[in-house]
Amino acid sequence: MTPRESYLDWNATAPLRSEAAQAIAAILAEPGNPSSVHRRGRAARQTVEAARRAVAALVDAAPDWVVFTSGGTEANHLALRAADRPRVLVSSIEHSSILEAAPTAQRIPVDRDGVVSVDALDRLLAADPRPALVSVMLANNESGVVQPVADLAAVAHRHGALVHCDAVQAAGKLPVSVAALGVDLLSLSAHKLGGPTGIGALIVHDAVELRPWLRGGGQEHGRRAGTENVAGIAGFGAAAGVAGETGIYDRVRRLRDALETEIAGTVPEAVVFATGVARLPNTTAVALPGVSAETQVIALDLAGVMVSAGAACSSGKVQPSHVLTAMGAGPDLARSTIRVSLGWSTTEAEIAHFLDAWTALYRRHRARRVAPRAA
């Protein structure tokens, strides 16, 4: 049976896990300020610290390294601005919260598959000896391409640079270890892995000096002022506790691969990006040449299928993807690309629902294109 609605936009946000919802409800029933010394305050502090341990465990970090923020965007801004380095280098495919936090940063190029060039980073760092910060995401939110962060970090450290990694899309879908990656700073966002919106974290290695840019209190060990969002933090901790079970994405990968095989067999004109390199197990970036991404998203929505045109963080605007442009895709192809992203509860019926709606759109487009020649 075809679902009435099929949600295939998990990279935009994941559904709230029941464990997170229960943790949030418990805190809302008995509020307390973690800075207060009475019993409610102490209970709130215990909640925050338990969540800190859970988030740290998700990425193989020490609990003291976890700085809770309002989300991934703030974590990225905190990393780029508070590290206070005169040079900043970012990859050309970073999320807009990185690109706009450091608009004058040098761009590290990627190849046609969207993989950041280790050699290019080496050359850029060698050309200027000033202290630098390098920021490269672990997995791209649009293409799903996994980056060689450990190799990039090794090169950066050889030049004395700090390394920040935006792991917002990767956490919960891939095993993530701060130690294995060799990074100094790492960003997370709760709502991408089944926690609530409005809460995230920056992991700060204890060897890194971070200059706080929100002041007015001693919260988060003096690194981020403001009363903690205890309910959000509790939900984040609960989601992190179950998000480490990344084996569930083996099933998701099989669904994604089956989706792409069906696309190749039924829509020969379609272009699926970066199939030859490591990607997130849930993400497909697919272009339907000649049909704008906006048209596809609207048509699919009318059919009850929800996907995105690239990133879902641009105030609802549908525009050519800077990620695909950096990968060498022409404007027409970039404008005709949508992102299909799956999650732990995605079903075969939802995949079939997408394929039925999308191939129907393709057939309508092909019929309109052929009709004038037939006349």
d(CA 274, CA 145): 7
> Is residue 165 flagged as an active site residue?
no
User: CA nearest 60: which of 147, 174, 154, 178?
Assistant: 178
Contact 106, 89 (CB under 8 A): yes
Give CA–CA dist 132/109, Å, rounded: 17
CA distances in angstroms from 112 to 90, 123, 143, 261, 277, listed in the order given: 17, 19, 12, 21, 11
Q: What does the radius of gyration of the chain's CA atoms come to, in whole angstroms?
A: 22
Gap between the Cα atoms of 57 and 311, Å rounded? 28
**Beta-carbon count within 10 A of 28 CB:** 11
- Of 43, 270, 313, 352, the catalytic one is 313
Question: Could you give the count of Cα atoms lying within 13 Å of 287 in the half-sphere of its Cβ?
Answer: 19
| Distance between CA atoms of residues 50 and 63, nearest Å | 9
Distances (CA, A) of 153 to 122, 305, 360: 10, 39, 45
Which residues are catalytic, by number? Answer: 313
